[in-house]
Structure 1
Amino acid sequence: MTVVIKVGGARAVDPAGALADVASLVDSGEDTVVTHGGSTAVDDTLERLGMEPEYVETPSGVVGRFTDEDTIEVFEMVMPGLLNTEMVAGLQSEDVDAVGLSGVDGKLLYGPRKSAVRVVEDGKRKIRRGDHSGSIKQVNGDLLESLLSDGYTPVVSPPMAGADEDGVTPVNTDADRSAAAIAGELDGTLVLLTDVPGILEDPDDRDTLIREVETPEDWTRMEDAAEGFMGRKVMAIREALEGGAPEVIVADANIDQPVATAMEGDGTHVYPSALPDDAETDGGDDE
């Protein structure tokens, strides 16, 4: 079995427990791929440079980052530079032979660049141009499988390789959906670790956790409960399951043994049988 673990980039997420769990999985012989976000670190860096992070809402209600030319430069510096290196070093401290990759390396994450995005501002639908984001259409599974077969643990972060008429450039893409694309390509279980215990019907009440999503009716319930940034996770869940993942779990990163606990039943577990026929995948790209 292959396990793809996405460690969230929110300020409240502590990756230490996840890294220890990754080491346990690797020791037990499981093929494991780690992915990560970095929204907080990108925002902090933008603010230190005197730039304001900008988020937009898509017509389907999903919130994502608008990535202009200046932002993508900061993004390239922070994500594959600072954060990926720190994640790789953390795993190596756990005696894991980790290898850091961005989506650009070997065209690991590849697809068309978007030059504009659809947004909703003041209740009106608009087109925002000048965006530096992309949609993943291909995953270089051979590269990942080659590393895994040689005993290495890939650690993957955005940006992705975005193609347009000028060639290939690094562009932003959502880290949850990056992890979903990888899980689908490798037919692996996807574990999305975040700063909440899973998908909650009431975001202010941890006791309203949706534990299992097995039918289209369950899917509707989950989709109705997902607000703001959680909407991107629902999109990622769908893409992973449609791509071939046997299960997606959304769980708390900040408990003891977060991956092991999630795989034993904690968090929100979503299965292919829940996939609806009419769900849409329209959303912003963000780390």
Structure 2
Amino acid sequence: MQKLSIIKIGGNIIEDETSLNAFLKLFANLEGKKILIHGGGKRATHIASKLGVKSKMINGRRITDAATLEVITMVYAGLVNKNIVAKLQSLDVDALGLTGADVNSIKSDKRPVKEIDFGFVGDVKKVAHNSIDKLIKADFTPVFCALTHDGNGQLLNTNADTIASAIAVGMSKIYETSIYYCFELNGVLQDFKNKESVIKNINSETYQALLKDGIITDGMIPKLDNCFDALNNGVQKVLIGNLSMFTNENEFFTTITL
């Protein structure tokens, strides 16, 4: 079975031109089949503010009303995605920028209203792995932004970590898949104030202990939930860390296992 690398980059890398260029060079040199997933929340918040659209967040998650959806569609699928695609082309990577609506690749259901109405936010239901594979087999490198669709003409804002996990699970039917969650930190930290305090290995048992002790909190919880969901559904390997995951310069990254 061929190997496929699924790499998701965080907002701070996207925001910093030097970090983005460094990452894309590493991504271009990464051997084998690969897919890139990105968000762009910080850029969307900045541009929304310029346009007079107020960004509303609850528990670190964006409330996506109609005006916000317009902004994030422009920013994610337009500005950020095409900037990344253009840079990859300059590095001889034949990148193809996509939303989940393109080739019907990722369908979602609009998140039901419970305690909070998140608006036009999607929960992934289906990944068209065969359609994505046609692009890969044609030697294109898919670059997905954090937008999916409901199959009825509605775009939906969707968590990029979840998209990475869902694509990896879907593609694991064809490939031996690995996920790399790449952001500005060295990995999952024991002490957030100490950037060197990387927890090198987390399994499902130690994860529960870290949750109980309050070491893993906030946005890291859904990220790790996505990791374990992927591993439970056919994904071979999941790593969380910074650019050094691709350079073998150090071991400052976290490996997630069952």
Q: TM-score, length-normalised on structure 1? A: 0.80
Q: How does 1:86-165 map to 2 (within 5 A)?
A: 86-116=83-113, 118=114, 127-129=115-117, 131-163=119-151
Sequence identity, in percent? 26
Partner of 1:196: 185
1:44 to 38, 43, 46: 46
Partner of 2:35: 33
Q: How does 1:1-16 map to 2 (within 5 A)?
A: 1-10=3-12, 11=15, 14-16=19-21
1:81 to 75, 78, 83: 78
Take 2:25 and 2:147, find their aligned partners in 1: how far apart are those partners? 25
1:205 to 194, 197, 206: 194
What stretches of structure 2 of length at least 5 have no aligned partner?
none
Q: TM-score, length-normalised on structure 2? A: 0.89
Residue 68 of structure 1 and its aligned partner are, at CA, apart by 1.0
Take 1:16 and 1:221, find their aligned partners in 2: how far apart are those partners? 37
Partner of 2:23: 18
What amino acid is the match of 1:249?
Answer: L
Residue 141 of structure 1 and its aligned partner are, at CA, apart by 0.8
What amino acid is the match of 2:168?
Answer: A
Secondary structure, aligned partner of 1:103: coil
Cα 1:82–1:95 change in 2 (3 A) is same
Secondary structure, aligned partner of 1:244: coil
What amino acid is the match of 1:15?
Answer: L
Take 1:235 and 1:48, find their aligned partners in 2: how far apart are those partners? 34
Residue 222 of structure 1 and its aligned partner are, at CA, apart by 4.5
Cα 1:130–1:95 change in 2 (3 A) is closer
Q: Deviations over 1:68-90 (max 9, x none)?
A: 11111101111011111011111
What amino acid is the match of 1:53?
Answer: S
1:181 to 150, 163, 166: 166
Structure scoring higher RCO (CA < 8 A, sep ≥ 6) equals 1
What amino acid is the match of 1:259?
Answer: F
1 or 2, which has the higher strand percentage? 1
1:72 to 69, 72, 76: 69
Aligned length: 247
Residue 128 of structure 1 and its aligned partner are, at CA, apart by 2.9
Secondary structure, aligned partner of 2:153: strand
What amino acid is the match of 2:45?
Answer: D
What amino acid is the match of 2:34?
Answer: T
Residue 135 of structure 1 and its aligned partner are, at CA, apart by 0.6
Query: Are the aligned partners of 1:199 and 1:225 in contact in 2 as well (CA < 8 Å)?
Result: no
Q: Deviations over 1:216-250 (max 9, x none)?
A: 32222444422222222112212221221111111
Partner of 2:248: 261
**Runs of at least 4 residues of structure 1 off by over 6 A?**
none
Partner of 1:239: 229
Q: Deviations over 1:168-226 (max 9, x none)?
A: 30011100110111111122100001121111121111232110124x32222444422
